[in-house]
A and B are shown apart, each in its own frame.
Chain A
Amino acid sequence: MSKRLDTKARIDRGRPLTFHWDGRTLPGYAGDTLASALMANNQRVVGRSFKYHRPRGIMSAGVEESGALVTLGDGNRRDPNVRATTQELYQGLVARGQNAWPNVRFDLGGAANLFSRFFAAGFYYKTFMGLPPFEWGRGTGYWMTYEKLIRRAAGMGEATRLPDPDIYDHVHGFCDLLVVGSGPAGVAAARLAAQAGLDVILIEQDFELGGSTLNRAEQATVDLSDTSVRVLTRTTAFGLYDNGVAGLLQRVTDHLSRPPPDQPRQRFWTVRATQTILATGALERSLAFGHNDLPGIMTISAARCYLNRFAVLAGQEITIATCNDSAYGAAVELAQAGAQVRVLESRTLAPQQLSQRALEAGIEIETNTAPLLARGGKSVEQIEVARGDGTAWRAGGVRACDLLLVSGGWSPVVNLQSHRGATPVWSRENACFLPGESDGSLHMAGSAAGIWGTDACVRSGEAAAAAAARTLGRTAPNVDAPRPGGWHHPIQAIYEIRVPGRRLKSFVDFQHDVTSDDVRLAKREGFVSVEHLKRYTTLGMATDQGKMGNIIGLALMAEALGKDIPEVGTTRFRPPYTPISLGALTGRNKARHFRAVRRTPMHDWNRAKNCTMTDAGLWRRPWYAARGEETLQQAYIREATTVRQAVGLCDVTSLGKIAVQGPDATEFLNRIYSNPFAKLAVGKARYGIMLRDDGLVMDDGTTWRLADTDYFMTTTTANAAKVLVWLEELLQLRWPDLKVHVTSVTDQWAACAVAGPKSRQVLEACFENAADVSDDSCPFMGVLQGHLKNGIPCRIARISFSGERAYEIYVPSDYGPALMDLLWAAAEPLAGCLYGLEALGTLRIEKGHVTGAELDGRVTIEDAGLGKMAAKNKSFIGSALRNRPALNDENRPRLVGIFPKDRAETFNGGSILCRPQTLSGHGEGWITGVTHSPTLGHWIGIGFIAGGHHPWSGKTVIAADPLRKGNIEVEIVSPQMVDPEGTRHYG
């Protein structure tokens, strides 16, 4: 059994806490991890394994944990697969075991273990895919049936399905030197670098600085507050990327019972460091032997950590199995703490000095001995040992114990270096992978570089920092970097203990229940490459990414192949080093901040006038302004009718606006527009179409000549940025000789369309002098610049999208609401209205005016019915390629209007236009927009059909909408469905 001692440790006994484990309330202290607190309460079984539902206990004291994976929190904060070994305890913490029913101590799913010999690698695929003998050679029908059931049984824990209540931040950080890890090497590196004048960030994944020193009997506190080093605790470097970029996850409130409001739960850092030192330490490996996953089996360093850092003695009768020297210090400390300790030393000789001290502490040492099989129900009770005979193991008796500690050697944490593409190098002497070559901006230090002695680790940290400082042009002392190694007595590589003829269940990857037999099965079936081994057995693919098991798996494959480990190779480590939450990746870019919202200056004014808004790209635009209980349809029909009969106001601020200025502005415009611009008079506006290089239409809009060398271009809302970028590209790359500057002034100007037969009356009321806007001062396509009667500067053009007499009036944006007040005061007495995008659509469809829905990148200027706007006597962008034969085929889809044959009928945008006999394939055309036409009194549409409207005159066409409306008979008409002569807007 495990228990809390009264000894000095790093827990704060002045701050007792309670927490909830599987429905029970248990005590702990501030400074505990969930694992140490569970252990202090003698909780042995804390999880169930992934595949066989075997009981699992605490196996480590850190990020490599594979047994104590628990579900933390409740309700919308339920988080599965949390490692109890790294979760800081807080008052009221709620955790429960997972992958078990009814609980981890008694789990009905444990029956799977009885059949475990059948559940080897690839079991489900082999069994259910092409199920023999029923499906031999006849496909995978059974798999399709069973897969759903099999998948349902898989998975570990269950995340909440409720929205995440927490906030997460993204942060960008910059430093000269990033030090990862606060053990002896990291701290020494940070200190020296700071002294050399570098700007240093040091990060530590634990909540305390110190790394492995925290686990020692002699406690020392690391304090860097006397330096300029920026320290981030509870922060993991989850990935390392090119150019010194590191991804960090900082856990800000995960250790607090009640997170303060406004604090993010986590911060996702992108740090750009000129130099990086990885002092990430080393992880102690397990060993493969029978039932090596029983609760009560953990690494030696873990038991040492629980004893010294948390004052928890993990067992009373302790057996320690080792192949290296690191066990002896822990053995003595555990014995001194009152445990009965036995050491199984796999080497032929125990290191003399170390074993002498152990013997003095009352520890029994058996050399040439290793664990063969752990026995016990839900916790280890006995160890069957094996004794070496020089070449193989043979069974060697039984030892009683309640805790088995193992050390299969140490693996430097080279994961982050591997992210950067370095290939680790096998060291036979140290029985581990050492970091490979990396470029001059990345340094390895301490046991991450395979350096085992504390003093050597400090020197190695200083040497790395000095090298980093010198690279950055600072002076730094010369420190010789120690070489990897430092065992007084050689480590003896040992990975698996088995004896001939005994079938043992020996786990290699505890998280995915991969056994040593699975590795050998993979070899027998030909999956000998490490990459295939990984994917076939799923070794190393769980949340720990093979921190504990990968090396054993590689060693076993090498042994099975009769090769050396370096010949077998290793897989590339990939980010993240430890799991990170999706919320942290998302940051604040969700809900209403998913995208930045673009509002016009009249946004609030529109809302106050009961406008319902809609999205137009990032813009919010008025959709319709309902009166009383009006529906959308009632509102837009009324608005469109009012525009045709009186006057309407519409916020059109979102149109793109570009200032085109310079002595060559006229020439520039003449080159980009398909129609002539060379002779546009000052004070006039012109509708223009620009093509792409390939001759298809890019965008349309009006351009106003304000002065000789000063133009004001408008674009569609959708293409504003695209057009500006295009113009800049032309000026910078193609025509750098032209003296033209283009500048987006979209945000500078608020704009309102004033449309309808009474539009001039509205404007007259807005000017001091009504004659300013007479038809002589402002004829069709005329431009005015002046001041409104409230003193606001404005520019006005008489242009029409609705087909009515209409003006677009622009004022500097901050005056937007004042403009609307003025216009509304004039329009309301004339029975005017506000109109939105829906009515705008109605008016333009009636007139056959195109928008982005029609100009979709497949349409030529002729297709859009605007062929007469392509000048014959000048070159312009697209003028050559628009003459390609395929673009001039008579039978191309051309813009048309569409009426329902039965005028009472409606039809849908998106319908395909087909011949009545041929309701299949791509049809003859398509419908891009529909509306009820108040002028015509029935539904109309706009779209494209092969050859345009003439060949279809008098014929019935089907608007096919098979998924919604079905087939509707329609007629094809000219796209100018209302006022084709334009008498209304020329007025």
Chain B
Amino acid sequence: MDNPSPLRVSALLGTRHPGIYGNQEGPGLELGESANLTLHQVAFWTDTEAAVKAKIATAIGAETTPGPGQAVIGKRGCAIRIEPMKYWILETIPPTLTADEGSVVELSHARTCLNIGGEKAAELLNHFLPIDLRDAAFPANAVASTALHHVAVTLWRRQPSYRLFVPRGFALSLWELLFESGLQYGVEVR
């Protein structure tokens, strides 16, 4: 991958200050950001599913592509099944598709990726997300499209923490909400 341009700035610039905050018994939470995201959406047509899946598997360096509500971490990158006919390809360049095979669109700047870790991570997320995050229901590499304070977000349990993809424009507002709610558990901002 290219080195990120120094001109690229995060939506959390000026707000995310590393340190330990809130409950002194903590921190039960780690909040951070995976800045300089590389994210592309790859979509197939009903008659090109197999071909596109094969290309995605090759692109991320994995044997398979994820099923609905799942992610696969490959040798080169990761893929998330985001909609029935759409994947997100992360951390690597997406496959090249002809228009008849499918479509690719870049979303690297469209989302801010928050990292939420620590023993209270699921508890904090459940302050907002009405989804079952217990191990059996939401194991490693489970993915959910849900809503946080009425904003559409994507949650990926990427061990050891959670990745929360939020629309860039809402990132600061939702970060503040998560941070303030997390203070009761103690927060380490990274």
Known: A264-B184, A748-B106, A748-B107. A791 touches B169 (CB 8 A): no
- Give A618 Cβ to nearest chain B Cβ, in Å: 8
For residue A564, which residues in chain B have a CB less than 8 angstroms away from its CB?
Answer: none
Tell whether, in the assembled complex, residue B8 and residue A172 are in contact, meaning their CB atoms are under 8 Å apart.
Answer: no
Say if the beta carbon of B126 comes within 8 Å of chain A.
yes
Tell whether, in the assembled complex, residue A262 and residue B173 are in contact, meaning their CB atoms are under 8 Å apart.
Answer: no
Contact with A along B166-187 (1 / 0, CB 8 A): 0111101110110011011000
Tell whether, in the assembled complex, residue B109 and residue A749 are in contact, meaning their CB atoms are under 8 Å apart.
Answer: yes
Tell whether, in the assembled complex, residue A659 and residue B105 are in contact, meaning their CB atoms are under 8 Å apart.
Answer: yes
- Give A703 Cβ to nearest chain B Cβ, in Å: 15
Say if the beta carbon of B154 comes within 8 Å of chain A.
no
8 Å CB interface, B145-171 against A: 149-151, 167-170
Tell whether, in the assembled complex, residue A262 and residue B149 are in contact, meaning their CB atoms are under 8 Å apart.
Answer: no
Q: Which of A809-817, A893-901, A909-917 contacts B (4 or more CB under 8 A)?
A: A809-817
Tell whether, in the assembled complex, residue B126 and residue A172 are in contact, meaning their CB atoms are under 8 Å apart.
Answer: yes
Q: How far is A597 from B150 in the complex, measured between Cα atoms in Å?
A: 11
Q: B41 — nearest CB in chain A belongs to which residue?
A: A743
For residue B102, which residues in chain A have a CB less than 8 angstroms away from its CB?
Answer: 741
Interface size class of A (residues with CB under 8 A): 35 or more
Contact with A along B70-110 (1 / 0, CB 8 A): 00000000000000011000000000000110110111111
For residue A173, which residues in chain B have a CB less than 8 angstroms away from its CB?
Answer: 126
Tell whether, in the assembled complex, residue A814 and residue B126 are in contact, meaning their CB atoms are under 8 Å apart.
Answer: no
- Give B155 Cβ to nearest chain A Cβ, in Å: 13
For residue A709, which residues in chain B have a CB less than 8 angstroms away from its CB?
Answer: 99, 103
Q: How far is A817 from B43 in the complex, measured between Cα atoms in Å?
A: 31
The 8 Å CB contact of A174, one of B10, B107, B127, B134, is: B134
Say if the beta carbon of A568 comes within 8 Å of chain B.
no
Interface centre among B85, B133, B184 (most CB of A within 10 A): B184
Tell whether, in the assembled complex, residue A174 and residue B169 are in contact, meaning their CB atoms are under 8 Å apart.
Answer: no
For residue B106, which residues in chain A have a CB less than 8 angstroms away from its CB?
Answer: 748, 812
Say if the beta carbon of A149 comes within 8 Å of chain B.
no
Q: How far is A98 from B169 in the complex, measured between Cα atoms in Å?
A: 49
Known: A264-B184, A598-B170, A814-B109. A604 touches B103 (CB 8 A): no
Interface of B: prevailing SS: loop
Q: How far is A815 from B86 in the complex, measured between Cα atoms in Å?
A: 26
The 8 Å CB contact of B181, one of A169, A270, A745, is: A169
- Give B187 Cβ to nearest chain A Cβ, in Å: 9
The 8 Å CB contact of A663, one of B10, B100, B110, B134, is: B100
The 8 Å CB contact of B45, one of A597, A618, A739, A791, is: A739
Tell whether, in the assembled complex, residue B105 and residue A745 are in contact, meaning their CB atoms are under 8 Å apart.
Answer: yes
Q: How far is A790 from B173 in the complex, measured between Cα atoms in Å?
A: 30
8 Å CB interface, A808-842 against B: 812-818
Tell whether, in the assembled complex, residue A663 and residue B150 are in contact, meaning their CB atoms are under 8 Å apart.
Answer: no
Tell whether, in the assembled complex, residue B169 and residue A598 are in contact, meaning their CB atoms are under 8 Å apart.
Answer: yes
Contact with B along A261-274 (1 / 0, CB 8 A): 11110000010100
For residue A292, which residues in chain B have a CB less than 8 angstroms away from its CB?
Answer: none
Contact with A along B12-52 (1 / 0, CB 8 A): 01100000001100000000000010000101010000000
Q: B104 — nearest CB in chain A belongs to which residue?
A: A661
Q: B174 — nearest CB in chain A belongs to which residue?
A: A596
Tell whether, in the assembled complex, residue A619 and residue B45 are in contact, meaning their CB atoms are under 8 Å apart.
Answer: no
Tell whether, in the assembled complex, residue B127 and residue A663 are in contact, meaning their CB atoms are under 8 Å apart.
Answer: no
Name 16 A/B residue pairs within 8 A (Cβ), A-sorted: A172-B128, A174-B137, A199-B134, A260-B23, A262-B22, A262-B184, A263-B184, A588-B177, A596-B177, A598-B173, A601-B168, A659-B103, A741-B86, A790-B7, A815-B7, A818-B9
- Which residues of B are at the interface with A, using a C-beta cutoff of 8 A? 5, 7-11, 13-14, 22-23, 36, 41, 43, 45, 85-86, 99-100, 102-103, 105-111, 123, 126-134, 137, 149-151, 167-170, 172-174, 176-177, 180-181, 183-184
The 7 lowest CB-CB distance pairs between A and B, nearest first, are A661-B103, A262-B183, A748-B110, A818-B7, A813-B109, A709-B99, A814-B8
Known: A169-B184, A815-B8, A818-B7; 14 extra A-B contacts, CB below 8 A, are A262-B22, A262-B23, A264-B184, A272-B132, A593-B173, A599-B169, A599-B172, A659-B103, A663-B99, A741-B102, A747-B111, A750-B109, A814-B36, A815-B5
